[in-house]
């Protein structure tokens, strides 16, 4: 346990030193520009636009940083051979993978929280009244970042290059928002084989649409609590599966 905690701490610091804060700075720049622009062009909907854009930008930047970080998380350590220093000690390879993953996740979620603070500040300056449903978006965002980072980590160990890992992750991220549409297409398909293929694909595809609570904001009767509980269960199971596959792949690697 101590070994895992040490790996988590070192990875967290490594990510912070890798100029993760630049993502927060970029976010602040985007939001400052957006608040000026939309104040002029969005008429009565200025606050709505800044709120939606801020949430989407925080999530997108968080996902980008998490995916890029996860893709290089173990690969870079293997290429630079720094992984050897740890793996020659009595540290199980699964612990190494989990520790690296948790460290990255901690750093990315910290950055997303900072982006949230910047967003709340800009909204308050515009006269926004805080609402519980807004703050409920952030735990869902964290779950989504966790799932995407685990997918990226798996592909980094499965694929042959960083470019292909990033491509596979981006593909899964896009299709992950397309769950209801894919189900709809499988129901409409006349080909039994195609319908079965889509259903099988849906089985391994992350259902990111279910974790996009910010698109359900203000819908009457949609309570965040029960959705969050289900979302947490879903993300834990899916991330667990990806981490297990990643650890299995990593344990079979020959150095």
Partner 1 sequence: MKVGGAVAAGLFLASAVVARWWPGTSLPPAGGPPVPAYAVQDMAAVLAGARRVGADVAFIQLLQYFGGGDANEAGGKDNTGPRSTWLPRFLPMSRRVAALNPEFHAAVLFAAGSLGFVLDRPDQALSLLEEGTAADPTFWEYRLYAGAVAYRKNQDPDKVIVFLWEALKYPDCPGILENILANLLKKRGDFRRAAEVYRHTIQTSRDPFSVDTARRQLDRMRRAGLAT
The verdict on 170 binding partner 1 (CB under 8 A) reads: no
* Stretch of 1-9, 78-86, 100-108, 196-204 lying at the interface with partner 1 (CB under 8 A): 196-204
CA 27 vs. chain centroid, Å, equals: 16
To the nearest whole angstrom, how small is the minimum distance from the Cβ of residue 127 to partner 1?
Answer: 8
State which of residues 25, 33, 39, 191 lies at the interface with partner 1 (CB under 8 A): 39
Report residue 82 as tokens.
């720094």
* Distance in angstroms (rounded) separating the CA atoms of residues 205 and 203: 6
CA 224/CA 94 separation, integer angstroms: 34
**Measured from the CB atom, is 81 or 252 closer to partner 1?**
252
In the chain, the largest separation of any two C-alpha atoms, in whole Å, equals 62
The answer to the question of residue 237 lying near partner 1 (CB under 8 A) is yes
Which of 106, 110, 139, 179 forms a contact with partner 1 (CB under 8 A)?
A: 179
Using the contact rule CB under 8 A, the part of the chain among 41-49, 73-81, 102-110, 112-120 near partner 1 is 41-49
Give the nearest distance from C-beta 51 to partner 1 in angstroms: 9
Query: Does 248 sit near partner 1 (CB under 8 A)?
Result: yes
- Of 17 and 180, the one with the shorter C-beta distance to partner 1 is 180
Residue 42 lies near partner 1 (rule: CB under 8 A) = yes
Other Cβ atoms less than 10 A from the Cβ of 182: the count is: 17
Phi-psi region of 127 (alpha: psi -120 to 50; beta: other; left: phi over 0): left
CB 128 within 8 A of CB 51: yes
What is the chain's alpha carbon radius of gyration, rounded to the nearest angstrom?
A: 20
Q: Which residues contact 200 (CB under 8 A, 6 or more apart)?
A: none
Contact with partner 1 (CB under 8 A): which of 81, 90, 219, 255?
A: 219
CB of 79 to partner 1, least distance (A): 24
DSSP state of 209: G
Contact, 34 vs 50, CB < 8 A? yes
Cβ proximity to partner 1, 203 vs 255, nearer residue = 203
- Classify the phi-psi angles of 11: left when phi > 0, otherwise alpha if psi is within -120 to 50, otherwise beta: alpha
Kindly tell me the burial class for residue 188, based on how many C-beta atoms sit within 10 Å of its own C-beta (0-12, 13-18, 19 or more): exposed
Among 44, 132, 192, 254, binds partner 1 (CB under 8 A): 44
Which of 88, 90, 203, 255 forms a contact with partner 1 (CB under 8 A)? Answer: 203
List interacting residues with partner 1 (CB under 8 A).
38-49, 52-53, 56, 59-60, 174-181, 184, 202-204, 207-210, 212, 214-220, 222, 226-227, 230, 233-234, 237-238, 240-242, 244-245, 247-248, 252
């Amino acid at each position: 346990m101590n070994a895992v905690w040490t790996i988590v701490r070192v990875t967290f610091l490594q990510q912070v030193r890798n100029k993760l804060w630049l993502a927060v700075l970029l976010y602040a720049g985007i939001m400052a520009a957006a608040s000026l622009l939309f104040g002029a062009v969005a008429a009565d909907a200025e606050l709505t636009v800044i709120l939606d854009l801020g949430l989407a930008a925080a999530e997108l930047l968080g996902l980008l940083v998490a995916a890029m970080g996860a893709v290089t998380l173990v690969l870079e350590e293997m290429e630079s051979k720094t992984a050897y220093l740890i793996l020659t000690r009595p540290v199980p390879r699964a612990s190494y993978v989990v520790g690296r993953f948790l460290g990255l996740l901690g750093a990315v979620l910290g950055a997303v929280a900072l982006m949230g603070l910047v967003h709340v500040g800009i909204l308050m300056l515009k006269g926004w009244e805080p609402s519980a449903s807004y703050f409920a978006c952030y735990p869902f965002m964290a779950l989504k970042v966790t799932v995407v980072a685990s997918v990226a980590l798996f592909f980094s160990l499965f694929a042959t290059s960083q470019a292909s890992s990033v491509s596979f992750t981006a593909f899964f991220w896009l299709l992950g928002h397309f769950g209801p549409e894919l189900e709809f297409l499988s129901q409409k398909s006349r080909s039994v084989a195609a319908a079965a293929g889509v259903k099988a694909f849906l089985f391994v595809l992350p259902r990111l649409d279910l974790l996009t609570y910010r698109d359900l904001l203000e819908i009457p009767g949609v309570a965040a609590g029960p959705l969050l509980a289900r979302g947490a269960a879903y993300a834990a199971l899916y991330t667990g599966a990806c981490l297990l596959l990643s650890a299995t792949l990593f344990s079979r690697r020959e150095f």
